[in-house]
Amino acid sequence: MKARQLLDGASFNPDQLRVVLQAFDAAWENISPTVSANAIAVEASRLNLAKAVLAVAKQGPIEAERIKDDALKVMFSESPELGSPPPGRSENSY
């Protein structure tokens, strides 16, 4: 919930925000299998992902695939608790 609130409150126009939210959702699909089922861990991971997505998005351009890929790079490099990227993808493929 906090992650979505952070994203919704970001300084983007409505079209840009839609792209940022799309990137967040796609990135979460990629990392959610690596996150503990513990609700606190899930919320912390989602919040960290939201922060990564916003940091990447602010650098532009606002393109969902680029934001998703760059945010995933940040998450896997800065969050050792996530372990390795999901099967079938390597960190370098993001």
Q: What is the pLDDT of residue 79?
A: 66
Q: Over 50: is that where the pLDDT of 89 sits?
A: no
Burial readout 60-79 (b: 16 or more C-beta within 10 A, e: otherwise): eebebebbbbbbbbbbbeeb
pLDDT digit string, tens, across residues 35-85: 888 999 999 999 999 999 999 999 999 999 999 999 999 998 876 556 555
Give 73's contacts (C-beta < 8 A, 6+ positions apart): 91, 94
User: What pLDDT band is residue 87 in, cutting at 50, 70 and 90?
Assistant: very low
Domain boundaries, the chain: 2-93
Mean pLDDT of the region 24-41 = 92
